[in-house]
A and B are shown apart, each in its own frame.
Chain A
Amino acid sequence: MRALASPRTSAKPDGGTRAGRGTRRRAWQYTGVPAWIYVVAALGALFILLPLTGMVAQVNWGQFWPLVTSESSVAALGLSLKTAAASTALCIVFGVPLALLLARAQFAGQRILRALILLPLVVPPVVGGLALLYTFGRSGLIGRTLELAGISIAFSTTAVVMAQTFVALPFLVLSLEGSLRTAGQKYEAVAATLGARPGTVLRRVTLPLVLPGLISGAVLSFARSLGEFGATLTFAGSLQGVTRTLPLEIYLQRETDPDAAVALSFLLIAVAVVVVAVTYRAPRSPLRTLLSGPVAERSDAA
């Protein structure tokens, strides 16, 4: 503790303006990374960065504003934000209990449950959409009964939210389960010996402690929902204002109006960047903790 604190305070006089922990120059340490690794890593980074640049270069800036404010574009963007928010909420509602069970409880079939929950990560979204369709569709396993009760899910906004939740849930569960395991159960045990009921422990100790993991999981889920395409198209179709989210709109426009597709793609990237940036820049941001790795998370508890 003391060893950590002293260099921070001593950095103030000579460090000048922003003598934070991050801006202070670290002493050179041996890393053991071969030089060629830098080259390959740079290629990898370029592989991500170049296509984005290529797309931005294609944006018709003169027409950008009219293109993204067209009726269909605004409807698609609005629908995307709305459904992604709703599916993120659903991911939190179902994901938190799932993560808690996976990280804390001991029961038979735990590993099978984890494998099942992670399935949407590896299954192609189109297949996920088909699965949803054959379950909740008009003639599906459950959909048939629902249909009799007058509830029709497929090809509605509800279907969009369900498709997005289906593919985004594993992101939240994985992220939160990791945080729960890192946090450990020591604090929960202490809280229990202080007289806190399990519900109180969850509300006042467990969830606050894993809040960074929960938020980063929610951000990941939101981003995944925002980009959902295959499952949505299969299960919900592409009806303007009802089920045609931004990715579907982009795919549709690509055939008829490539300029509009590029502009909307740029918009989607911008929305994603804004979401990530806002979460990252918030004071004591959990995303920052996530991005700077698990070591930073530990220092808080020590």
Chain B
Amino acid sequence: MTLHLNAVLAARNVQISLSVAPGETLAIMGPNGAGKSSVVQLLAGLLKPDSGTATLDGKTLFELSPGSAWLPPHLRGVGVLAQEPLLFPHFDVLDNVAFGPRSQGAGRRESRETARRWLAEVDAAGLSARMPSQLSGGQAQRVAIARALATDPALLLLDEPMAALDVNSTPFLRSLLKRVLAGRRAIIVTHSVLDALMLADRTIVMDGGHIVESGPTATLLAHPRSTFAASLAGLNVLPGTLSGSSLVMHDGVQVAGQPAVGPGAGRAGDGAGDGAAPVPEAAGGMDGMAAFPPSAVSVFLEPPVGSPRNCFRVHVTELQPQGGHIRVRAGDLAADISPAATAELALEPGSEVFFVVKAAEVVLYPA
């Protein structure tokens, strides 16, 4: 009794296979254009893949080449919450929420009763007589949540549900979602690490229409394997080949570090199973990653002499204020240094500098 999706959609360069257990919430992250929204639309029945199958609790959503079964959206039992609330402007709040139950065959009185219950559930009972145009963005999205849940969908799809909200309404909505998603099968497309951590049991990272990474959210952030996950986790990640307590990058540069044997790596083994592999004791000659936080990076104008530390010669591409620091970006790498240090080094885009990291700060783990 799970959701299985296996689909190819050439027009959007999407080729994906995933499954979600009952009661599980899956987060989909990835850069823009990665195909995240296409997955939502494929499951909702708003897009037709070229080939593939999807089943939800034994019910076939579609089965194309071979076969040609296609269940229209209104028969799927799949709810969608989009970035915009999309409340019907010609109904008041109560009738917006009652629309789903009513469309599924419930009577007017009964569906309004259901609507009232769900409005109370999202703390919006007081809004039921308002028209959508009289709601703030946060209120409208709360009503939209009630409307999506009022049909009791077997699968709820959330496509960046908080992306269009102002910062003030986001925390409230996030905890509301946490409450209503508990024990409910859902897929949430998001750009926020916080959403993934708080709302999802498992996260997949998509890029270029494919899943590039998958696993429990905490593991994924602790040991990112893709550049995107690394940037989400705020880590510098270098790929290469593991060799004892160092990693040989593809261009031959050696990175000294500490092989990961932490709790994060251990948990990956007994996680949901797809993607994360257990860490072998002696990982030699296999593909691996070296990760270190930007705060562990020191920036020098001259290479330090006689130091056992890792040193990378880079060109500064961008300087960004971040919190109390300046984030110095150089290609894929980033360093956090103080504004004073930035001024002292006279850094500007194009400067040649040396990023220096202690081996103790670098974590090595297999890819």
Binding site for B on A (CB under 8 A): 1-2, 186-187, 189-198, 200, 204-205, 208-209, 300-301
Contact = CB atoms under 8 A, between A and B. Distances in A.
Contact of B74 (A1, A186, A197, A204): A197
Nearest to A190: B86
B99 interface: yes
B136 interface: yes
A196 B86 contact: no
Contact of A195 (B82, B84, B151): B151
A1 B138 CA distance: 11
Interface string B47-80: 0000000000000000000000000111111111
Contacts of A197: 74, 103
B79 A191 contact: no
Contact of A194 (B46, B84, B151): B151
A193 B74 contact: yes
Nearest to A196: B103
B89 A196 contact: no
Given A1-B136, A192-B45, A195-B151, A186 B99 contact: no
B192 interface: no
A293 B87 CA distance: 23
A192 B89 contact: no
Contact of A190 (B76, B80, B137): B80
B36 interface: no
A2 B139 CA distance: 13
Contact of B100 (A2, A194, A300): A194
The 8 closest A-B pairs by CB, nearest first: A196-B103, A194-B100, A192-B73, A195-B104, A195-B103, A193-B80, A208-B90, A192-B74
A192 B82 contact: no
Contacts of A191: 88, 99, 103
A186 B103 contact: no
Given A1-B136, A200-B103, 8 more contacts: A190-B82, A192-B45, A192-B74, A193-B46, A193-B74, A205-B88, A209-B88, A301-B89
A46 B155 CA distance: 63
Given A189-B46, A189-B73, A205-B88, A194 B136 contact: no
Contacts of B103: 191, 194-197, 200, 204
Interface in B138-172: 147-148, 151
B197 to A, nearest CB: 27
B46 to A, nearest CB: 5
Size category of the B interface is 20 to 34
Nearest to A204: B99
Contacts of B147: 194
Given A190-B80, A193-B80, A205-B88, A300 B74 contact: no
B32 interface: no
Contacts of A186: 82, 84, 86
Given A1-B136, A186-B84, A200-B103, A193 B90 contact: no
Contacts of A196: 74, 99-100, 103
A97 to B, nearest CB: 20
A193 B133 contact: no
Given A2-B136, A200-B103, A193 B79 contact: yes
A194 B86 CA distance: 12
A25 B31 CA distance: 45
B104 to A, nearest CB: 4
B27 interface: no
Nearest to B140: A1
Interface in B92-127: 99-100, 103-104
B44 interface: yes
A194 B74 CA distance: 7
B104 A300 contact: no
A193 B78 contact: yes
A300 B88 contact: no
A193 B137 contact: no
A194 B101 CA distance: 8
Nearest to B43: A193
B152 to A, nearest CB: 10
Nearest to B99: A194
21 contacts: A1-B137, A2-B136, A186-B84, A191-B99, A192-B73, A193-B74, A193-B79, A194-B99, A194-B103, A195-B74, A195-B151, A196-B99, A196-B100, A197-B74, A198-B72, A198-B74, A204-B99, A205-B88, A208-B88, A209-B90, A301-B89
A191 B100 CA distance: 8
Nearest to B72: A192
A4 to B, nearest CB: 10
Nearest to A299: B133
Contacts of A187: 86, 88
A208 B89 CA distance: 9
Contacts of B78: 193
Interface in B29-49: 44-46
A2 B99 CA distance: 27
B297 to A, nearest CB: 42
Nearest to A193: B80
A191 B44 CA distance: 12
A300 B86 contact: no
Residue in B46, B74, B151 whose Cβ sees the most chain A Cβ within 10 Å: B74
Contacts of A204: 99, 103
Nearest to B144: A190
Contacts of A301: 89
Nearest to B147: A194
Contacts of B137: 1
Nearest to B76: A193
B288 to A, nearest CB: 43
A242 B53 CA distance: 63
Nearest to A185: B46
